[in-house]
């Protein structure tokens, strides 16, 4: 039971001093989560109250099934954008069908995550490389910010990509609603100052860095309070400023989303992408924070926790959720010790939904949009492009393709393009494995590339090191490269493949080794292997290759040289 329900491992040891720390962290996270939940629901095209709904039950379920002590689960910007991108082409924004679609998307995501946990498919998230994820998040941040500008300006302008958003915004400039724009840009300046400059300002009054950091995290609450008072006192609603309006009081009613097979088929591809992206974002944050406290995160169990959270969101009127970076960091910095901090946060959000939703009536859409813009622009990392370009041009192209795909075609096209290009580049890279002719370093038993070191070479034995696992994409290249090296050394009697970098040999590569051995033998050269790893050797023992190819399998390359050319081995040993 404790394997599948981690809370049973630590709850019996839970004490009052831990509860106090969790409660303090929960207060801070709750103050941060309320405006974010409202804003991200609006970003997803849903009524703001659904953001509160998606921040209650998921936290409770994750506390039971999750393994991270500090991960804060709830609505996040990128997943909200992906939700809108999946639903808007098929449902009218704000309609009952749209809300049902969001609940169904959360349910599908939860089921997919749980199936991945049962089948131990957490490794699939590894196909989203860091450059692709970085490019996806940066481009999504830009796209989200652009999509919220019409709320800041008080105009109508929509679109799913840059080609549609920018022209729509440009054409709407003459109709800017100036009271809304004044509120929106003022909120942007305040939030940006709270993020960048307020810390230094507060430290002048003697507050330490930790305290100022936590205070500045709840900047959106200050923006909400000020904007609500201004709109209320000046009666700006009558002047056309759009506000949240009536927010239903009470906790969400539990209901199962409508399971229409045609709609399920329509939303399933988007649910798969949302599940993968959400899992990658969540596990990255969880592992980073856990490492600071020397705690362990179990990826497969995290799939269970996140899947349960998404299902809980689905049946409580919410939309897809995952672990949020900024909230989790605040939760950690505020001193959260266990998942009970999430339970306390859920209680705080629940109390807000029960008693305080009327306070949001005069909350301007422009302030929620400003909250989103400031939050997502912090995710844009242009420096990563420079670093990736300097280190790996191939990874840079995958990252750049993801950015272009997201900005030009939308979030789904961008991430599919990035993943596809990453896999193609991987196949291309491994289809031409690095192979080096090596020789013995004098006075040692080590072998190194003859182009990089001053080594001893045998006139009889050609030593070739293969630095990649051998499988079907590179099997033909292996044959051609070995034949070319043997042709360049007509005096050799033996060719030894040094397999220290080979972790796997598949059936296609095995056939290539058979062909290489036969061709070399026809040319008067014997093939040998050296430094074959145990798992690879175990597989080769189940074949006829070791008995038929006529050569030896040596423990080390130096042993091969000693056996096949003792004179050169003695020279190298001096």
130 pLDDT band, cuts 50/70/90, is confident
Q: Is residue 145 part of a domain?
A: yes
- Nearest CA to 100 among 334, 260, 326, 303? 260
Neighbours of 407 (CB within 10 A): 20
Give the torsion through C-alpha atoms of 227, 230, 236, 242, to 10 deg: 10
- Bridge partners (DSSP) of residue 465 are 436, 498
Rounded CA separation 268/90 (Å): 13
Cβ-Cβ contacts under 8 Å for 418 (sequence gap 6 or more): 128, 132, 135, 136, 398, 399, 401, 402, 405
Percent share of the chain, pLDDT over 90: 54
Q: Is residue 430 part of a domain?
A: no
Domain check: are 376 and 480 in the same one?
Answer: no
- Nearest CA to 365 among 166, 152, 555, 520? 152
Q: How many domains does the chain have?
A: 2
Mean pLDDT of 515-535: 94
Listed residues 359, 390, 424: the one ending a domain: 424
Backbone angles phi, psi at 156, to 5 degrees: -100, 115
Rounded CA separation 273/127 (Å): 12
Listed residues 390, 424, 458: the one ending a domain: 424
Domain check: are 399 and 494 in the same one?
Answer: no
Looking at residue 572, its pLDDT comes to: 85
Domain check: are 411 and 480 in the same one?
Answer: no
Looking at residue 74, its pLDDT comes to: 92
Domain check: are 490 and 402 in the same one?
Answer: no
Domain check: are 323 and 174 in the same one?
Answer: yes
Looking at residue 463, its pLDDT comes to: 95
Neighbours of 57 (CB within 10 A): 26
pLDDT, tens digit, for every residue of 211-245? 777 677 777 788 889 999 999 999 999 998 999 88
Domain check: are 453 and 377 in the same one?
Answer: no
Domain check: are 292 and 364 in the same one?
Answer: yes
| CATH number, position 498 | 3.30.750.24
Q: Is residue 429 part of a domain?
A: no
Domain check: are 270 and 357 in the same one?
Answer: yes
Looking at residue 207, its pLDDT comes to: 74
Q: Is residue 2 part of a domain?
A: no
| pLDDT over 90 (residue 417) | no
User: Which of 198 and 79 is assigned the larger pLDDT?
Assistant: 79
Looking at residue 480, its pLDDT comes to: 94
Listed residues 424, 458, 493: the one ending a domain: 424
Domain check: are 328 and 388 in the same one?
Answer: yes
Rounded CA separation 157/168 (Å): 5
259 pLDDT band, cuts 50/70/90, is confident
pLDDT, tens digit, for every residue of 9-20? 888 988 999 999
Percent share of the chain, pLDDT over 70: 99
Looking at residue 291, its pLDDT comes to: 83
Domain check: are 279 and 379 in the same one?
Answer: yes
Range of the domain at 568: 435-573
Instruction: Say if residues 541 and 508 touch (Cβ distance below 8 Å).
Output: no
Q: Torsion-angle region of residue 74: left (phi > 0), alpha (psi -120 to 50) or beta?
A: left
Mean pLDDT of 336-349: 93
Domain check: are 378 and 254 in the same one?
Answer: yes
458 pLDDT band, cuts 50/70/90, is very high
User: Which of 295 and 495 is assigned the larger pLDDT?
Assistant: 495
Domain check: are 136 and 62 in the same one?
Answer: yes
Q: How far, CA to CA in Å, does 392 sit from each of 163, 312, 383, 386, 469?
A: 29, 42, 14, 10, 21
Highest mean pLDDT (candidates 54-63, 151-160, 355-364, 424-433) = 54-63
Q: Is residue 1 part of a domain?
A: no
| Residue 524: both structure tokens together | 């008067």
Backbone angles phi, psi at 465, to 5 degrees: -95, 130
Mean pLDDT of 317-326: 90
């Amino acid at each position: 039971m404790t394997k599948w329900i981690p809370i049973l491992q630590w709850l019996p040891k839970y004490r009052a001093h831990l509860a106090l720390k969790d409660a303090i962290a929960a207060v801070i996270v709750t103050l941060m989560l309320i405006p974010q939940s409202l804003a991200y629901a609006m970003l997803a095209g849903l009524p703001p109250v659904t953001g509160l709904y998606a921040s209650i039950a998921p936290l409770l379920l994750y506390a039971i099934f999750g393994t991270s002590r500090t991960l804060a689960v709830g609505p996040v910007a990128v997943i909200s954008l992906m939700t809108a991108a999946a639903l808007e082409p098929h449902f009218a924004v704000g309609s009952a069908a749209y809300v049902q679609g969001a609940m169904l998307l959360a349910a599908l995501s939860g089921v997919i995550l749980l199936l991945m946990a049962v089948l131990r498919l957490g490794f699939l998230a590894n196909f989203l490389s860091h450059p692709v994820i970085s490019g996806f998040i940066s481009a999504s941040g830009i796209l989200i910010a652009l999509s919220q500008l019409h709320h800041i300006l008080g105009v109508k302008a929509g679109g799913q990509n840059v080609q549609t958003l920018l022209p729509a915004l440009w054409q709407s400039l003459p109709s800017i609603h100036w009271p809304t724009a004044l509120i929106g840009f003022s909120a942007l300046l305040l939030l940006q100052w709270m993020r960048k400059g307020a810390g230094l300002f507060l430290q002048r009054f003697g507050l330490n860095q930790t305290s100022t950091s936590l205070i500045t995290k709840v900047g959106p609450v200050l923006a909400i309070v000020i904007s609500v008072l201004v709109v209320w006192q000046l009666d700006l609603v009558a002047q056309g400023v759009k506000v949240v309006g009536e927010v239903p009081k009470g906790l969400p009613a539990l209901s199962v989303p409508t399971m229409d097979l045609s709609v399920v088929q329509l939303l399933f591809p988007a649910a798969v992408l949302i599940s993968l992206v959400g899992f990658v974002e969540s596990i990255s944050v969880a592992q980073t924070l856990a490492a600071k406290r020397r705690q362990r995160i179990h990826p497969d169990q995290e799939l269970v926790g996140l899947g349960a959270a998404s299902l809980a969101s689905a049946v409580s009127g919410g939309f897809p959720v995952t672990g949020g970076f900024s909230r989790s960091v605040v939760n950690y910095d505020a001193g959260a010790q266990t998942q009970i901090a999430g339970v306390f946060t859920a209680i705080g959000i629940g109390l807000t939904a029960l008693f305080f939703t009327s306070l949001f009536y005069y909350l301007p859409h422009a302030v929620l949009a400003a909250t989103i813009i400031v939050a997502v622009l912090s995710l844009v990392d242009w420096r990563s492009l420079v670093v990736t370009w300097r280190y790996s041009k191939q990874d840079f192209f995958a990252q750049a393709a993801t950015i272009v795909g997201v900005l030009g075609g939308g979030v789904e096209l961008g991430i599919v393009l990035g993943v596809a290009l990453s896999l193609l580049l991987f196949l291309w890279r491994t289809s031409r494995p690095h192979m080096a002719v090596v020789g013995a370093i004098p006075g040692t038993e080590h072998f190194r590339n003859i182009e990089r070191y001053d080594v001893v070479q045998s006139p009889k034995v050609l030593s070739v090191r293969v630095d990649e696992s051998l499988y079907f994409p590179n099997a033909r290249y292996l044959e051609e490269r070995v034949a070319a090296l043997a042709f360049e050394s007509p005096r050799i009697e033996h060719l030894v493949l040094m397999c220290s970098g080979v972790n796997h040999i598949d059936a296609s590569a095995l056939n290539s080794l058979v062909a290489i051995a036969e061709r070399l033998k026809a040319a008067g050269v014997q093939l040998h292997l050296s430094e074959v790893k145990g798992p690879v050797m175990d597989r080769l023992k189940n074949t006829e290759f070791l008995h038929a190819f006529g050569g030896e399998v040596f423990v080390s390359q130096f042993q091969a040289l000693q056996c096949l050319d003792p004179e050169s081995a003695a020279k190298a040993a001096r």
